[in-house]
Copies of this chain bind each other. A is one copy, B any other.
Amino acid sequence: MKICRINMRNKSITYEEVKSEYMALGGRGLTSKIISEEVDATCHPLGKNNKLVIAPGLLSGSMAPSSGRLSVGSKSPLTGGIKESNAGGTAAQNLAKLGYKAIIIEDKPEKEELNLIKITSEGISMEDASYLKMKGNYETGDILREKFGKKTTVMSVGQAGEMKLSAASIAVTDTEGHPTRHCGRGGTGAVLGSKGIKAIIIDPGKTNEVKYHDKDSFMKASRSFSKMILDHPVSGQGLPTYGTAVLVNILNEAGGLPTDNFRNGRFEFAEDISGETMYELINKRKGNPTHACHPGCIMRCSQIYNDENGEYLTGGFEYETIWAFGSHCHIKNFDSIAKMDRLCDDIGIDTIDTGVAVGIAMEGKYIELGDDKAAIKLVEEVGKGSPIGRIIGNGAAFTGQAFGTERVPVVKKQALPAYDPRSVKGIGVTYATTPMGADHTAGYSVTANILGVGGTVDPLKKEGQVDLSRNLQVATAAIDSTGLCLFVAFAILDNAGALQEIVNMINAEYNTSIEIQDVITLGQEILKEEKEFNRRAGFTKAHDRLPEFFNENLEPHNVAFDITDEELDMTLEF
């Protein structure tokens, strides 16, 4: 295992042994550690002093099920705080096969440049990529896979990353070679763009440096763990069939599907944009509703979504995206939403912050609520770099300021995702307190609040929400370090043996002897490190708050967000 450091000013590429203290870290645990140790928290996120760290998880590249998640860490141009943004696709496994614990990209070119980083079994090299200037991720990926081989993983930025817009993402190609999996949140694409990098290609060829200290034990734990995932109704049935869009009807029923910029918890046209409707549509058009974003994923929540003519349109099309361009904007046309998902993937922008921004442009009366054609045009403008495109592409908080509107659902300037914090109060605690800015994946209380997974905590009452969010945030920080998809959490929460099997796999691969308590401690340590970075960057408790308007009552349950500041401040005190 090694770490590679790429300096974009002097173009040096150096390899380092992994420090002993980094050995037990991977994914988010490693990216947050390196960013915290090496980056001045007060630096400009687009400046030479910021770094971008790419790290596969501890189990990435192994035969553990659904272990292909990638972590990218940086100081965020969107929030100004630390950021770990997590994606599927084929990058993490290929990096792990090549023996990379992390890639650290630092400094920036003197002048504007566009480079390609090549990571293969022959090492890492760099070449000019100016021929890809202002191309979208689809075309970029096609050109690079044509040139370097169809199986090559492409990580790239679209126009948004080149323009260094704060909602710019980093695309990662999926098993079909489509750039549908993204480090979406927090503008890591803008950081990669600021470093003068258009794309990173990864091709391990036949190389596979992933070794197992005790392969038999590993396989035994892996099989047991796989069974637990497949036996769980959410990860074994709901997700493979309907994808995450299965949540549309569930959240609508629960009164937690934010509609018309968080003015209602139910959308009259929820059925039109539901997972069930998507499933029918996909089947009718001969797409694929059940698709793995990386090899070895057994939950296969991704899909291939074809257009009216049966031609491929998009994939990796999530509940949060459907919500952001759907009920948030009062849009019910599934194909319009799918087109915007495709546009976001191509331009390289976070679907959540972009969709919320489009809704804020409606709030500011720039376009009309529910006007899907105008919404599509707005998203297209981001790729063109027009002034309105630059507004939308900088995310929801920025768009709110542009239009002088105060009803802007953001925490730490990052847009709230698809769960209303008043009727799913545990997620509200997570939005407010995670060091990442409003982020459902940082502590997904929807489990116990809505799905009855890992127990039941009444989503409308304040009791138990802080503990729920805290426990999930700790567990998530740890899972984000393993390379396992967060959706393994369903099995973990409902099956006492699942976490032990993860521990068993790690011990079997690395010849360690960690215990479950070490996993908890790891999660806590990661959160402490991230909070400490944010403190140095200038964050205080005043930033751990939801926008004021969440004290308004939400239909249909007539509930406000009533977790007190003092309760929020306790959440991440260990």
Decide yes or no whether A9 CB sits under 8 A from chain B: no
- Indicate if A440 sits at the interface (CB-CB under 8 A): no
Q: Which residues of B contact A403 (CB under 8 A)?
A: 163, 390
Whether A404 and B163, one on each chain, are in contact in the complex, defined by CB atoms closer than 8 angstroms, is yes
* Beta-carbon contact of A390 and B391 below 8 Å: yes
Contact residues of A between 26 and 84, Cβ < 8 Å to B: 41-44, 46-47, 49, 77
Give the CA-CA distance A535 to B541 in the complex, in Å.
10
Task: From A142-150, A280-288, A394-402, give the one contacting chain B.
Answer: A394-402
Q: A538-B543, A542-B538 are in contact. Are A406 and B44 (CB under 8 A)?
A: yes
Contact of A181 with B by CB under 8 A:
no
Q: Which of A150-196 contact B (CB under 8 A)?
A: 163-166, 190, 193-194
Nearest chain B CB to A541's CB is how many angstroms away? Answer: 8
Chain B residues in 8 Å Cβ range of A402: 387, 390-391, 394, 398
Interfacial chain B residues near A398, Cβ < 8 Å: 398, 401-402
Residues of B within 8 A of A43 (CB): 548
Q: Is the CB of A537 within 8 A of B548?
A: no
* A540 surroundings in chain B (CB, below 8 A): 535, 538-540
Q: What separation, in Å, do the CA atoms of A164 and B405 have in the docked complex?
A: 8
Whether the pair B190, A404 counts as a contact (CB closer than 8 A) is yes
A194 CB contacts on chain B under 8 angstroms:
404, 406
Check A386 for interface membership: any CB of B closer than 8 A: yes
State the number of copies, please.
Answer: 2
A388 interfacial contact with B, CB 8 Å: yes
A400–B404 alpha-carbon span in the complex (Å): 18
Contacts of A47 in B (CB 8 A): 406, 548
> In the complex, what residues of B have CB within 8 A of residue A44's CB?
406, 547-548
Contact yes or no, B539 A46, CB < 8 A: no
- A49 contact set on B, CB distance < 8 A: 548
Does residue A266 face the partner (Cβ distance < 8 Å to B)?
A: no
When each residue 515-548 of chain A gets 1 if its CB lies under 8 Å from chain B and 0 otherwise, what string results?
0000000000000000000011111111101011
| Size of interface on A: residues with Cβ below 8 Å to B | 40
With A391-B390, A391-B391: A42-B406 Cβ-Cβ less than 8 Å: no
Query: Given contacts A386-B387, A387-B391, A391-B391, are A406 and B539 in contact (CB under 8 A)?
Result: no
> For the complex, what is the distance from the CA of A538 to the CA of B163, rounded to whole Å?
30
Q: Which residues of B contact A166 (CB under 8 A)?
A: 401
Complex contact B42–A542 (CB within 8 A): yes
A542 and B537 form a contact (CB under 8 A): yes
CA distance A183 to B404 in the complex (A): 19
- Contact present for B42 and A545 (CB under 8 Å): yes
Among residues 292 to 341 in chain A, which have CB atoms less than 8 Å away from a CB atom of chain B? none
Query: Which residue on chain B has the smallest CB distance to residue A534?
Result: B542
User: In the complex, A390 Cα to B42 Cα: how many Å?
Assistant: 27
Is A401 in contact with B406, judged by CB distance below 8 angstroms?
no
Chain B, residue nearest A162 (CB): B404
A521 to chain B, nearest CB (A): 28
B46:A404 contact, CB within 8 angstroms: yes
Measured CB to CB, the nearest residue on chain B to A361 is B387
Min CB gap A107→B, angstroms: 13
Q: Which B residues lie within 8 Å of A193 (CB)? A: 404
Chain B residues near A394 (CB-CB < 8 A): 401-402
Closest Cβ–Cβ distance, residue A50 to chain B (whole Å)? 9
- How far apart sit A404 and B166, CA to CA, in the bound complex (Å)? 8
* Residues 363-394 of A contacting B (Cβ, < 8 Å): 386-388, 390-391, 394
Q: Considering the chains assembled together, what is the distance between the CA atoms of A547 and B42 in angstroms?
A: 9
CB distance from A167 to the nearest CB of B (A): 11
The distance in angstroms between the C-alpha atoms of A163 and B400, with both chains bound, is 12
Residues of B within 8 A of A77 (CB): 401
List chain B residues, Cβ under 8 A from A163. Answer: 403-404
The winner among A391, A402, A538, A539 for most chain B CB atoms within 10 A is A402
The minimal Cβ–Cβ distance linking A75 to chain B, given in whole angstroms, is 12
Chain B residue nearest to A540 in the complex (CB) = B538
Q: How far is the CA of A392 from the CA of B185 in the complex (A)?
A: 26
Q: Which residues of B contact A547 (CB under 8 A)?
A: 44
CA distance A46 to B391 in the complex (A): 19
CA distance A200 to B550 in the complex (A): 33
How far, in angstroms, from A565 to B543 measured CA to CA in the complex? 23
User: In the complex, what residues of B have CB within 8 A of residue A539's CB?
Assistant: 538, 540
Q: How far is B44's CA from A545's CA once the two chains are assembled, in angstroms?
A: 12
Closest B residue to A165 using CB positions = B404
Mask: chain A, 466-486; 1 = CB below 8 Å from B; 0 = not = 000000000000000000000
Complex CA–CA separation, A44 to B409 (angstroms): 12
Give Cα A548 to B387, complex, Å: 27
Task: Tell me how far the C-beta of A449 lies from the nearest C-beta in chain B, rounded to whole angstroms.
Answer: 26
A46 to chain B: which residues have CB within 8 Å?
Answer: 404-406
Which B residues lie within 8 Å of A41 (CB)? 542
Q: A387-B402, A398-B398, A538-B539 are in contact. List 17 more A-B contacts (CB 8 A).
A: A41-B542, A42-B542, A43-B548, A47-B406, A164-B405, A166-B401, A190-B404, A193-B404, A386-B387, A387-B387, A387-B391, A390-B402, A391-B391, A398-B401, A538-B541, A538-B543, A540-B540
6 tightest CB-CB pairs across the interface, nearest first? A164-B404, A538-B542, A387-B387, A387-B388, A46-B406, A44-B406
A-B contact pairs, 5 of them (CB 8 A): A42-B545, A42-B548, A46-B404, A391-B402, A540-B540
